[in-house]
Amino acid sequence: MKLFKSLLVAPATLGLLAPLSATANEVTINDFNPAEEIAVTNSRVDGLEARLNDVEAGSFSETTTASFSSTFYVGSVDSGVDNGVTTFTYDFGIGLNTSFTGEDSLDVAIIGGNVDADLTSGAVDNYMGGDGTDDVLTLDGIAYTFPVGGITVTAGDGVGVDDLNVGACAYSAFTDLLSDCGTSNVGGQADSAVAASYDFGNGFTVAAGIGGAGFSDVVTTEDLTVADITQAQVLAMVETNGTGADAVLIARLDSTGTGEASGAVINVGPLAATTVTGGDPLGFISDQDPSTVGLELAYTADTFGVSFAYTDDDAAGTEATYYSFQAAYTPDAPYSVSAGMEYDDNDNSSYFVGVTTEAGVGSLSAGLSTQALAADHADNLQYELSYSYPVNDGMTITPGAFIAESAADDEFGVVVTTSFSF
């Protein structure tokens, strides 16, 4: 800011002296009073500095930076049932980064968009992975990262147990499914976590994390009390499941059935399920919110990298264990090859392979992946091909196509994404 002040003061000073030069032929040396002119100049400079100080005091921040991004999705998916329709969706993101010591980072993510994340098939939104918030800006996550000796630690809401994992994936994915190189379960289902990593300095890194659903609305029936559930939640569950559903429906109703919460507990339907969605949050990494634990060991060299990850995921109330492997080869030639595999403790597996290469001013990517962990991969593959064209430093256009296999009719999609960053 001092340099900025100097750059402004110098032209201002020259501007003050310019009239003296212009009228030099009209005055004599006896008419020029250096002390008086210097006093006037200093006074004006002081006034200019005061204004600059006011601007500096009201500036955004000397420690916080903001970044913005947005992606447009225009395309259509033919599900075999119909020809599909062409849709336009978007998402928008704001990232705020603040450092208090120069070595730490407080990161806040704000998102918005009209992407429909609830669609399950035959829709562009189901494949592209955008953020949908009904056109409302929403806080998506907040995390604080800081060093402890040689260890890097991050914690917060919206943090996964794998947030500090290095990984070994160099593929430029088009659809959301292929963005994790076939290891979609490494992060588990935790959405609040504490993670740490250590770099040995010889190519090897180790990372670990523990997290849970945190502030989710999932409670277990064994610990559920009358006070844990509201009338509005009861009505929503009854509307969703009906009185004869094989789900847990616990209601607080008065004897007249008017819907007023009186404390009387009645069971609607058989108690067959173990969880109720809609209860009040019961804590973080508690008995009611089982945890997810993740570990990773990775090695990175100049032209290749490998990583192995272990995840014990109990955040959803059903325990599962995953073993994930990634590898990437990035030679001096203008291409990279990435591969990934994942297994669970039920002998299900998934795999991925992808190639990204320079093509003209942009890059061409082709990849395939299983759609989910399975014992049999028949009708379980998804293929994609895309070309990324950088218009400038802040804008990239990527047309692409994909095929998702199905036991019924395969789905074929064509989408053009336009990404902005600023």
Query: How many distinct structural domains can be found in the chain?
Result: 2
Give yes or no for a contact between 230 and 334, defined as CB atoms under 8 angstroms apart.
no
Q: For residue 207, tell me if it sits in a domain.
A: no
Q: For residue 227, tell me if it sits in a domain.
A: yes
Does 179 have pLDDT greater than 80? yes
Instruction: Name the burial class of residue 347, with classes exposed (0-12), middle (13-18) and buried (19+) by CB atoms within 10 angstroms of its CB.
Output: exposed
Q: For residue 224, tell me if it sits in a domain.
A: yes
Q: How many Å apart are CA 417 and CA 400, to the nearest integer?
A: 8
Beta bridge partners of 340: 326, 352
309-338 confidence digits (pLDDT tens): 999 987 655 678 999 999 999 998 899 999
Q: For residue 25, tell me if it sits in a domain.
A: yes
Which of 277, 312, 346 lies at the terminal end of a domain, its last residue? 277
Cβ partners under 8 Å of residue 164, min gap 6: 152, 154, 195, 196, 197, 207, 209
Better-scored residue on pLDDT, 69 or 314 = 69
Give yes or no for a contact between 187 and 294, defined as CB atoms under 8 angstroms apart.
yes
Structure tokens of 356? 């990204």
Which of 230, 256, 277 lies at the terminal end of a domain, its last residue? 277
- Quick one: which of 296, 280, 76, 282 has its CA closest to 166? 296
Does 191 have pLDDT greater than 90? no
One-character DSSP codes across 332-343: SSSEEEEEEEEE
Better-scored residue on pLDDT, 369 or 121 = 369
CA 306-309-315 angle, 5° bins: 155
Better-scored residue on pLDDT, 158 or 71 = 71
Which of 229, 251, 277 lies at the terminal end of a domain, its last residue? 277
346-367 confidence digits (pLDDT tens): 899 999 999 999 999 999 999 9
Give the chain's mean pLDDT.
77
Instruction: Name the burial class of residue 414, with classes exposed (0-12), middle (13-18) and buried (19+) by CB atoms within 10 angstroms of its CB.
Output: middle
Confidence of residue 212 (pLDDT cuts 50, 70, 90): confident
19-42 confidence digits (pLDDT tens): 444 444 554 556 666 777 787 787
Q: For residue 62, tell me if it sits in a domain.
A: no
How many other CB atoms sit within 10 Å of the CB of residue 304?
16
Confidence of residue 125 (pLDDT cuts 50, 70, 90): confident
Average pLDDT over residues 42-65: 70
H or E segment to which residue 47 belongs: helix 34-57
Does 104 have pLDDT greater than 90? yes
Better-scored residue on pLDDT, 126 or 195 = 195
Q: Is 49 helix (H, G, I), strand (E, B) or coil?
A: helix
In the block, tokens 């199905």 appear at 406
Q: For residue 16, tell me if it sits in a domain.
A: yes
283-302 confidence digits (pLDDT tens): 455 555 567 899 999 999 99
Which residue range(s) make up the domain with 29? 2-57
Structure tokens of 102? 């120069």
Q: For residue 226, tell me if it sits in a domain.
A: yes
- Tell me the residue type at 320: A
Better-scored residue on pLDDT, 78 or 57 = 78
Least confident of 74-88, 108-122, 370-384: 108-122
